[in-house]
């Protein structure tokens, strides 16, 4: 774990992964943990604003939008966002983002999916508003470990008080793999969010594959947490 503390990936490295097609983290058919525990995110509510941090081209965004929810995502890779709209056969328009130099907003013409091409740290509630729900898979585990507190503070500032935050972390032997995805134990989730939230570990599942075996790992778990922002 200590070996990962100082690990830093520049934005350019993520852009290279997308341009090289090195995006094995992308799930073509949506994420089974979201599909299984969707009721925890929605909590019986309809027409929610749902945030996808570091969204890539997650197909779950279209799935939730088709249910009538409003989706906002952010990623540094314009390629990923454009591939999302192309692969989902969704027409969209582009415009600059007032207040963020060089950023772009790509919005479906239907208006219910709005994706920002910029650093997540450039966002604020003044720009994107606040959210009723978050699906965080491949986001907290991808940000540089030294930025986690900054990330958690930003996410907290974007959440409505009654919101539900589904967070997926990963567990493996961090002495055998540098990340990303980075190892984030439960104690760290609690230290990042615990002061203002109720945190429940919902499910742990093995996601071990040949890819992880090549990394030298013996196990690789995904852990789903429900984080409730309490008033």
pLDDT digits (tens, 9 = 90+) for 117-139: 999 999 999 999 999 999 999 99
Instruction: Give the residue with greater pLDDT, 174 vs 2.
Output: 174
**Listed range (6-15, 34-43, 48-57) with the worst mean pLDDT:** 6-15
pLDDT beyond 80 at 176: yes
11-229 is classed CATH 3.40.50.150 = yes
SS (H, E, C) the chain: CHHHHCCCCCHHHHHHHHHCCCCCCCCCCCCHHHHHCHHHHHCCCCCCEEEECCCCCCCHHHHHHHCCCEEEEEECCHHHHHHHHHHCCCCEEEEECCCCCCCEEEEECCCCEEEEECCHHHCCHHHHCCEEEEEEECCCCCCCHHHHHHHHHHHHHCEEEEEEEEEEEEECCCCCCCCCCCECCHHHHHHHHCCCEEEEEEEEEECCCHHHHHCCCCCCEEEEEEEEECC
Average per-residue pLDDT in the chain? 94
pLDDT of residue 21: 77
- Quick one: pLDDT band at residue 59, thresholds 50, 70, 90? very high
């Amino acid at each position: 774990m200590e070996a990962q503390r100082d690990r830093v990936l520049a934005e350019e490295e993520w852009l290279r992964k997308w341009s090289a097609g090195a995006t094995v983290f992308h799930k073509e058919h949506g994420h089974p943990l979201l599909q299984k525990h969707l009721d925890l995110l929605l909590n019986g509510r309809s027409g929610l604003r749902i945030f996808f941090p570091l969204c890539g081209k997650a197909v779950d965004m279209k799935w939730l939008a088709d249910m009538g929810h409003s989706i906002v995502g952010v990623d540094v890779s314009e390629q990923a966002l454009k591939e999302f709209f192309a692969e989902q056969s969704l027409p969209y328009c582009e415009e600059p983002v007032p207040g963020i130099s060089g950023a772009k907003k790509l919005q479906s013409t239907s208006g219910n999916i709005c994706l920002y091409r910029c650093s997540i740290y450039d966002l604020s509630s003044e720009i994107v508003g606040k959210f009723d729900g978050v699906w965080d898979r491949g986001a907290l585990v991808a940000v540089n470990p030294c930025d986690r507190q900054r990330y958690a503070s930003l996410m907290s500032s974007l959440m409505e008080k009654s919101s539900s935050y589904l967070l997926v972390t990963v567990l493996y032997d961090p002495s055998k793999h540098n990340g990303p995805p980075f190892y984030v134990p439960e104690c760290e989730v609690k230290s990042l969010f615990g002061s203002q939230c109720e945190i429940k570990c919902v499910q742990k599942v093995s996601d071990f594959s040949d890819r992880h075996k090549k990394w030298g790992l013996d196990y690789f778990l995904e852990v789903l947490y429900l984080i409730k922002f309490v008033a």
